[in-house]
Chain A
Amino acid sequence: MFLIPDDFFSRAIIAGIGFTLVAGPLGCFVIWQRLAYLGEAMAHSALLGIALAIVLDINLMVGVFSICLLIAFVLSRVNSDSFLSGDSVLGIMSHSTLAIGLVLISFMYWIRVDVLDFLFGNIISVTWLEIAMIYMASAVALGIIVFRWRAMIGLTVDEQIAAAEGLQPNQTRILLMILLAGTIAIAMKIVGIILTVALLIIPAATARQVAKTPEQMATFAVAFGSASVVGGMFMSLEFDTPPGPSIVVFALLLFLSMATAMLMRKRSQERT
């Protein structure tokens, strides 16, 4: 029988990989549809979600998910007629929700909350129950992505074509927002609010350099993301560095090595 080692280190790696399964493909959409800033705003708003979840005594992930959806909804109401552009609205929401969250949590003297755990994640304290939740959420999200993949790629290629050929681009876009909100709710525990978007974008950006098709990019992004989790965790163990940031640093190292390798290959091709 295959035994899963039950120590904090293994649990952290298992949890992290569970997250990258959905972060890989979704990170690709964040890059393709330029949603990085929206992701950032959603992630920052997570702290408000946490504060409200504590007040209402509901699950933290549910609280974060709901607030992230609210951010996406407000943004969807902004159009070219609005007096502020989408990025300004995101900028306002991103930082004010973070600030409100911090203020609310400071009032909660009756519970011990370490804000740093939320800001930078606390992957080594992840429990089996949380791992089960992460994998369930990942499985649902991944299932939706696979099921709606064609429509999502159709929307990414060209919205006009998607609309004319009956792919319902608006519906697909809403689905992507919901998935992004869900992913950020999962990510909160792994790398924390501040570094979430990094773990969505960096592995996908590494994958972009070698992929020839969207499917390849999504698959490679999962691979690079998982490698970052494993590499970052060992780095954290070896150098006694915080795990969340170590994972992001490792992801960046992968990205830079890939960029260097591609550059050198291009140079050598030009020479011949």
Chain B
Amino acid sequence: MKDDFDNSVLAKLQSVGVRRNNRWLVRDIDLTMRRGEIVSLIGPNGSGKTTVTKILAGSLQPDFGSVQRPPNIKIGYVPQSVTLDSTLPMTVQRLMDVPQPVDRNELFEVLTELDIQHLANSSVQKLSGGEFQRALLARALLRKPDLLILDEPTQGLDVHGETLLFSRIANIRDRMNCGILIVRHDLHLVMVQTDTVVCMNVHICCRGTPERVQKDEAYLNLFGAKAFETRALYSHLHDHDHGLDGSIRDL
């Protein structure tokens, strides 16, 4: 069973650091992504979240530390915001074939699961923000990724849309047994199925499990019971504070 454990590791970062222009973009990052695990990476703007995703995906080599990734790990990446140039003719169906053509039956299954099957032949540029986000998620899923990276997946969605998306992400994890990294700048509410919350600001500030808040009266009154089937509160345990430039200060 020991082998099983090793096989489940998709990427392991050990004391990883990236330095550009005499400034740490990230430093001392220890992070392990495993199959079937959902990790929420949270942190303020400019805290180095995107740098970490790039290192995990293998598109950026860190200056310090070690990165272990099994060869041929397939990454599915859904970026924070993509605007497709209007000069590029692209239907939703064609977008699913980027980069490789995929099976048509699977394609329609995934589009149906994400409620965009009726848009299959629409031009991508005519979709709403939420529809386009789902189309990009569908494209990433059709690659059958080992590691799915979602950068601010709920940006521009209302509470209802976010609830729907979270429940689908949980389904995806259960069905595909992939590792999922959700990057968010909302520091307090994370997806309830999150196994590990990692809070970072250049370095990792704290990590832990989300607390289930369904039973908390005050939050229930504020958001309604349904919102908490997919969300959980995360309370931070920091032993330090940050200056405006990201420097670390003792409390």
Residues of B within 8 A of A151 (CB): 99
Q: A153-B98, A213-B94 are known contacts. Are A164 and B77 too (CB-CB below 8 A)? A: yes
Q: Does A104 contact B (CB under 8 A)?
A: no
Residues of A within 8 A of B89 (CB): 208, 211-214, 216-217
> In chain A, what residue has the closest Cβ to B89?
A211
Q: A158-B79, A208-B89, A212-B123 are known contacts. Are A163 and B98 too (CB-CB below 8 A)? A: no
A157, B79: Cα distance in complex, Å: 12
Q: Does A95 contact B (CB under 8 A)?
A: no
Q: Does A131 contact B (CB under 8 A)?
A: no
A140, B88: Cα distance in complex, Å: 25
> In chain A, what residue has the closest Cβ to B147?
A164
Residues of B within 8 A of A212 (CB): 89, 91, 94, 121, 123
Cβ-defined partner of A213 (8 Å) among B58, B76, B79, B91? B91
A153, B95: Cα distance in complex, Å: 10
0/1 string, B76-112, CB within 8 A of A gives 1: 1101001011011111001100111000000000000
A265, B54: Cα distance in complex, Å: 46
Cβ-defined partner of B94 (8 Å) among A31, A150, A214? A214
Q: A215 to nearest B CB, angstroms? A: 8
Residues of B within 8 A of A153 (CB): 98-99
> In chain A, what residue has the closest Cβ to B79?
A160
Q: Does B178 contact A (CB under 8 A)?
A: no
> In chain B, what residue has the closest Cβ to A207?
B89
Residues of A within 8 A of B76 (CB): 165
Q: Are B88 and A157 in contact (CB under 8 A)?
A: yes
Q: Are B57 and A164 in contact (CB under 8 A)?
A: yes
Interchain Cβ contacts within 8 Å, total number: 71
Q: B139 to nearest A CB, angstroms? A: 8
Q: Does A32 contact B (CB under 8 A)?
A: yes
> In chain B, what residue has the closest Cβ to A167?
B99
Q: Is the interface of A mostly helix, strand, loop or mixed?
A: helix
**Which residues of A (3-61) have their CB < 8 Å from a CB of B?**
31-32
Q: B52 to nearest A CB, angstroms? A: 12
Number of contact residues on B: which range applies? 20 to 34
Residues of A within 8 A of B214 (CB): none
- What is the interface size of chain A, counting residues whose CB is below 8 A from a CB of the partner? 24
Residues of B within 8 A of A167 (CB): 99
Q: Are A32 and B75 in contact (CB under 8 A)?
A: no
Q: B13 to nearest A CB, angstroms? A: 16
Residues of A within 8 A of B123 (CB): 212
Q: Are B99 and A150 in contact (CB under 8 A)?
A: yes
Q: Are B84 and A157 in contact (CB under 8 A)?
A: yes
Q: Does B59 contact A (CB under 8 A)?
A: yes
Q: Are B87 and A165 in contact (CB under 8 A)?
A: no
A163, B55: Cα distance in complex, Å: 11
Q: Does A161 contact B (CB under 8 A)?
A: yes
Cβ-defined partner of B53 (8 Å) among A164, A214, A216? A164
Residues of B within 8 A of A232 (CB): none
Residues of A within 8 A of B27 (CB): none
A133, B94: Cα distance in complex, Å: 35
> In chain B, what residue has the closest Cβ to A152?
B99
Residues of B within 8 A of A165 (CB): 57, 74-77, 99, 143
Q: A49 to nearest B CB, angstroms? A: 29
Residues of A within 8 A of B190 (CB): none
Interface residues of A (CB under 8 A from B): 31-32, 150-151, 153-154, 156-158, 160-167, 208, 211-214, 216-217
Besides the known contacts A156-B88, A157-B95, 10 further A-B residue pairs in the complex with CB atoms under 8 A apart: A150-B98, A157-B90, A163-B54, A163-B57, A165-B99, A166-B75, A208-B87, A212-B123, A214-B89, A214-B94
Closest 4 pairs between A and B when the two form their complex, measured CB to CB: A164-B77, A164-B57, A163-B59, A211-B89
User: Could you pull out 23 A-B pairs where Cβ atoms are within 8 angstroms?
Assistant: A150-B100, A153-B98, A153-B99, A156-B85, A157-B82, A157-B84, A157-B90, A157-B98, A160-B79, A161-B136, A163-B54, A164-B54, A164-B75, A165-B74, A165-B75, A165-B99, A166-B58, A167-B99, A208-B89, A211-B89, A212-B89, A214-B89, A216-B89
